């Protein structure tokens, strides 16, 4: 198999899910928007050390896309960021991570950014037309789906095996040549019903569409045993550790159990690192994973190749990217040049500097 790490000591890091969020109060829709934001904020002071964490006023912002890429590539060892747009229109006016931001990031930084299109599937044909436009005209690399909405105190959701909502998207993906579909699962945020977050329906979709790679986003947060069985039975199912990867900092023993379970059934080739930035800072997760070792009761080892596959080799392979060639192609860009000259900047320093510049002298 090809090398998954460029020459030298640093692995190729491809962040499988990150977002230029818009938590600004004016973007929040009603009580659900505020509740969703409160839940997301609650983890920030826990994950980020006191000396670097943002205040709520600094955090509850509409992330400028240049601040986003500078945070990812100048403050951490991230080489490639997979930006997922989000259709959480029941909580946020722009869906929380807007389509136009993802498209513009892909346009400006094609060597540094992968972008997954999105749509609200409850809008039927309009959603399909939007996805087609994002892929054909705007260059989206994959599709991100969000199966639930919270309206008037009730959750409505569709399943991955649904002929009305899901299968038309998968059929369109085949027509467009899209091989990667990620779906939010395993993590209910706010008062959304847990039923919408179950993973059982993914097996039926994976069997029906074997040429599509289905990524379970937030894998390991809930339904670990069910996810293990999906890995065992479906070679086109992958686990993306957005949010669950935070356990490497907060509960290393739990992270070891999650990683051990997925290594047992899927091996090292179907696990994808995700920082969930810009809520946790990617620097802290990467540093913690570098120090992390599996517990003695987990019958696996985190050798160099396994770590490198998880951190970036697997996502790169899914998108036909050679890590060695991609590292070489970005070696002279402004991010690599600045890091080579000055080292990595302190976490969140770019946001702080931007805020300071906006304050009148």
Domain ranges of the chain: 14-358
Instruction: Report d(CA 244, CA 83) in Å as an integer.
Output: 18
Percent with pLDDT over 90 in the chain:
90
Segment 303-313 mean pLDDT = 96
Instruction: Report d(CA 325, CA 321) in Å as an integer.
Output: 8
- pTM check: above 0.85: yes
Look up residue 105 and give its two tokens: 């990031």
- Strand partners of residue 315: none
Task: Give SS3 for 214.
Answer: strand
Whether pLDDT at 359 is above 80:
no
The pLDDT of residue 190 is: 82
Q: What is the DSSP string of 159-201?
A: -TT-TTTHHHHHHHHHHHT--EEEEE-S---TT--GGGG-SHH
Q: How many CB atoms lie within 10 A of CB 299?
A: 9
Q: Which of 258, 286, 256 is nearest to 274 (CA)?
A: 286
Whether pLDDT at 4 is above 80:
no
Whether pLDDT at 234 is above 80:
yes
The pLDDT of residue 3 is: 56
What is the DSSP pairing of strand 148-151 with strand 142-145? unpaired
Instruction: Report d(CA 324, CA 10) in Å as an integer.
Output: 11
pLDDT in tens, 11-54: 999 999 999 999 999 999 999 999 999 999 999 999 998 988 99
Whether pLDDT at 1 is above 60:
no
Whether pLDDT at 5 is above 70:
no
The pLDDT of residue 7 is: 62
Q: Look over the chain and give the mean of its residue pLDDT values, rounded to a whole number.
A: 95
Q: Which of 93, 87, 92, 59 is nearest to 277 (CA)?
A: 59
The pLDDT of residue 361 is: 43
The pLDDT of residue 6 is: 65
Instruction: Report d(CA 285, CA 273) in Å as an integer.
Output: 10
Calculate the alpha carbon distances from 14 to 18, 292, 294, 330 in Å. Answer: 10, 18, 22, 13
Calculate the alpha carbon distances from 2 to 263, 264, 322 in Å. Answer: 20, 23, 8
Q: Which of 185, 269, 195, 277 is nearest to 224 (CA)?
A: 185
Domain 14-358: give its CATH superfamily.
Metal-dependent hydrolases (3.20.20.140)
The pLDDT of residue 37 is: 96
- Per-position b or e across 1-28, b if 16+ CB within 10 A of its CB: eeebbbeeeebbbbbbbbbbbbbeeebb
pLDDT in tens, 160-196: 999 999 999 999 999 999 999 999 999 998 888 999 9
């Amino acid at each position: 198999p090809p090398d998954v790490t460029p020459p030298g000591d640093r692995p190729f890091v491809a962040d499988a899910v990150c977002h230029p969020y818009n938590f600004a109060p004016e973007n929040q829709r009603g009580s659900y928007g505020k509740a969703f934001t409160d839940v997301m904020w609650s983890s920030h002071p826990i994950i980020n050390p006191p000396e670097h964490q943002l205040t709520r006023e600094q955090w509850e912002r509409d992330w400028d896309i240049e601040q986003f890429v500078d945070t990812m590539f100048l403050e951490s060892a991230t080489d490639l960021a997979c930006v997922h747009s989000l259709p959480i229109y029941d909580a946020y006016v722009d869906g929380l991570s807007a389509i136009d931001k993802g498209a513009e990031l892909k346009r400006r930084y094609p060597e540094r950014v992968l972008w997954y299109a999105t749509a609200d599937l409850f809008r039927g044909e309009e959603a399909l037309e939007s996805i087609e436009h994002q892929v054909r005209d705007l260059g989206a690399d994959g599709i991100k789906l969000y199966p639930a909405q919270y309206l008037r105190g009730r959750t409505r959701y569709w399943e991955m095996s649904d002929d009305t909502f899901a299968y038309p998207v998968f059929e369109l993906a085949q027509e467009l040549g899209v091989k990667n579909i990620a779906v939010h699962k395993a993590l209910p945020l706010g008062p959304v019903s847990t039923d919408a977050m179950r993973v059982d329906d993914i097996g039926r979709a994976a069997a029906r569409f074997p040429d599509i790679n289905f990524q379970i986003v937030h894998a390991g947060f809930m339904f670990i045993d069910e996810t293990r069985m999906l890995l065992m039975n479906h070679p086109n199912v992958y686990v993306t550790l957005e949010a669950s990867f935070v356990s490497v900092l907060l509960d290393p023993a739990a992270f070891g159990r999650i990683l051990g379970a997925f290594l047992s059934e899927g091996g090292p080739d179907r696990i994808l690192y995700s920082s969930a930035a810009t809520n946790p800072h990617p620097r802290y997760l990467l540093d913690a994973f570098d120090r992390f070792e599996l517990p003695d009761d987990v019958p696996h080892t985190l050798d160099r190749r396994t770590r490198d596959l998880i951190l970036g080799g697997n996502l790169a392979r899914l998108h036909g990217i050679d890590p060695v060639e991609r590292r070489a192609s970005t070696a002279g860009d402004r991010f690599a040049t600045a890091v080579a000259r000055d080292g990595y900047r302190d976490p969140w320093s770019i946001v702080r500097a931007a805020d300071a510049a906006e304050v009148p002298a």
